[in-house]
Structure 1
Amino acid sequence: MRILFFGRGVISTQYAWAFEEAGHTVEFYVRKGRKETFGSHIALEMWDARRAKRLIKENWKVKLHEEISPNYDLIIASVNTKQLPEAAQLLSTTAGNTPILIFNNIWQDLKSSILPLSMNNVVFGFPGAGGGIEDNKLRGGFLKTIFLEKPRVGTEQINNKVKELFESAHFKINWIKDMQSWLWNHFAVNAAMETEVLKRGSFPALMNHRDSFANVGKNMREMAPVLKARGAKMDAITLLLTKIPSALLGTLFNKVIFAKGSLPRLFIEYNNSKAGFAVLEVVREAKKLGIPSPRLTAAFANTEQQHKAIEKG
């Protein structure tokens, strides 16, 4: 299969490497000027947990393009959430009838988030991976499982193509019936964590404070009314974060889910992205719905520009 990844980010790069290893042809679209900046190789230091946990260290050769052609079997867009509208606009004029997998967080309703793309030509999924890129070196990893929406009427063939691709590379698919609610819940969890990152200064710093995940639970309780007002069904993770006492939750995350040496912990420790966008989106929605969000809003206390953004809406 010939696959084009939209952007050469941490998620795109890791799955592209796995697909190439499985015998597929992978290429990347990057913005004008980035081809020269990125160069023809990227240094990889990533954990592959599909079969057994193994560390991949290599200088991987990549093929980059600054134009998009419709000559692919599949396009995979895994971009920062705030970049999705721009990506969808560009793909609507360049991708032709090539099927597209949107492979990232989404806070808007699915249909409006990809306009002017057609829902019949798009399927939604979410990676089981993380990490960061700095100085053209990727540190991160991916788990065996990815999340993919169950076929909608009209997307059966695309879903099957995506299924065959991931399974050919030995990934396991967790099928999601209500992808809209699932993504809204996941976005809220991300915002709950980013709220603490804003306080601590970085994702790695989040792991060095015992009360960080206890506070994540408190942040989720503040967001639960927003999810309910939107009509989202609470999933297991959201219920876990909102129902378990904060002290117990902190212990559970620090000692079990993000135990020292675990891959989920490493993924966060390698994450060098800028936090705040997810929090800002949820605060804006809460304000529009008339729901107080003091904990989330307070996270921007020292960020005047983002305070103005909240007020502006």
Structure 2
Amino acid sequence: MRILFFGRGLISTQYAWALEQAGHTVEFYVRKGRKETFGSRIDLEMWDARKGKKLIKESWSIKLHEEILPHYDLIIVSVNTEQLPEAAQLLSAAAGNTPILIFNNLWQDLKSSIAPLPMNNVVFGFPGAGGGIENNRLRGGFLKMVFLEKPRVGTKHINQLIQACFESAHFKISWVKDMQNWLWNHFAMNAAMETEVLKRGSFPAIMNHKDSFSNVGLNIREMIPVLKARGAKPDAITLLLTKLPPALLGVLFNRVVFAKGSLPRLFMEYNNSKAGFAVLEVVREAKKTGIPLPRLTKALENSEYAKQK
């Protein structure tokens, strides 16, 4: 299968490597000027957890394009949330009928988030990976599981294509019945985490403060009315995070979810991305409905997003 990854970011690079290892042809679309900046290789130091736990260290040769050609079997899009509207506009003009996987975190409703792309040519999914890229060096990794929405009317053939693609690379698919609700809940969880990152200064920094994860549950509790106001139903994980006492939640995150040596902890320690946009999006939504979010709003005050809320 010939696959185009939109952008040469963390998620795109890791899954492109895995799919190439499975025999697929993978290439990247990058903005004009980025081809020369990125170069033709990237250094990988990432954990592959599809079969056990294996460290991959290599200088990987990649193929970059600054235009989208009409000869791909699949396009996979994984960009920063704020970049998705621009990506959708570009693909609507350049992708033709090529099936598209949106492999992204989303807060907007699915249809408007990808306008003007047609819904029957798009499937939504979510990766199980993390880490960061700095100075052309990728540090991170991916788990065995990827999340994919169950077929909608008109998308069954695309779902089957994507399923075959990922399963050929030994990934396991977790099928999501209501992807819209799943993504809303996941985005809220991300905003709760980013609220603590804004306080501490970086993703790795929150690993060193036991109170950070206790506060995640309090941040989620604050956002429940916002989720409900937009028609979302808190899922099992969201409800668990709101029901557990903050102190117990802190212990659970520190000693189990992000235990020392675990891959999720390594992914966080390698994460050098900029935090705050998810918090801003939720605060903006809350303002529309008059719902107070004091914890999230305070976290934004000293960030670059302070004037945008």
Do both proteins adopt the same fold according to a TM-score greater than 0.5, normalized to the shorter chain? yes
1:306 to partner: Cα distance = 2.1
- Contact kept? 2:220, 2:241, Cα under 8 Å: yes
Mapped partners of 1:137, 1:121: distance in 2: 34
Shift of 1:240: 1.4
Cross-structure match for 1:187: 187
Match in the other structure for 2:171: 171
Aligned to 2:223: 223
The CA distance in 2 between the partners of 1:307 and 1:275, in whole Å, is 13
Structure 2 letter corresponding to 1:146: V
- 1:101-157 per-residue CA deviation (whole Å, 9 max, x = no partner) reads 000100000000000000000000000000000000000000000000000010000
Taking the aligned partners of 2:70 and 2:208, their CA distance within structure 1 comes to 46
Q: Which runs of 4+ in 1 moved over 4 A?
A: none
Shift of 1:78: 0.4
The Cα RMSD (Å) is 0.6
Corresponding residue number in structure 2 for 1:308: 307
Q: Which runs of 5+ in 2 are unaligned?
A: none
Separation in structure 2 between the aligned mates of residue 172 and residue 146 of structure 1, nearest angstrom: 6
Residue 202 (structure 2) aligns with: 202
Structure 2 counterpart SS, 1:308 = coil
Residues 54-79 of structure 1 show CA distances to partners (whole Å, capped at 9, x for unaligned) of: 00000000000000012100000000
Separation in 1, partners of 2:154, 2:123:
10
Alignment of 1:284 with 2:284, yes or no, is yes
Instruction: Name the SS for the 1:83 alignment partner.
Output: helix
Count residues with an aligned counterpart.
Answer: 309
Corresponding position of 2:57: 57
CA contact (8 A) 2:11 2:129 kept: yes
Per the TM alignment, residue 235 of structure 1 is displaced from its structure 2 partner at its CA by 1.2
CA contact (8 A) 2:2 2:26 kept: yes
Q: Which runs of 5+ in 1 are unaligned?
A: none
How far apart in 1 are the matches of 2:170 and 2:235?
A: 26
Return the alpha-carbon distance in structure 2 between the equivalents of residues 243 and 228 of structure 1.
17
User: In the aligned structure 2, how far is the partner of 1:225 from the partner of 1:264?
Assistant: 29
- Aligned to 2:36, the other structure's residue is in SS state helix
Query: 1:301 offset after TM fit, Å?
Result: 2.3
- Structure-2 separation of matches of 1:176 and 1:300: 32
Residues 180-213 of structure 1: per-residue CA shift (max 9 Å, x gap):
0000000000000000000000000010101110
CA contact (8 A) 2:128 2:145 kept: yes
1:236 aligns with 2:236: yes
Mapped partners of 2:102, 2:302: distance in 1? 34
1:51 aligned counterpart, secondary structure: coil
Note if 1:4 corresponds to 2:20.
Answer: no
Contact 2:277 2:305 in 1 (8 A): no
Give matches, 1:73-222, under 5 Å.
73-222=73-222
For 1:123 and 1:287, the matched residues in 2 are separated by 30
Report the TM-score when normalising by structure 1: 0.98
Partner Cα separation in structure 1 for residue 256 and residue 31 of structure 2? 40
Give the TM-score, by structure 2 length.
Answer: 0.99
Q: How does 1:249-260 map to 2 (within 5 A)?
A: 249-260=249-260
Distance 1:34 1:308 in 2: 30
- Whether 2:289 is the aligned partner of 1:298: answer no
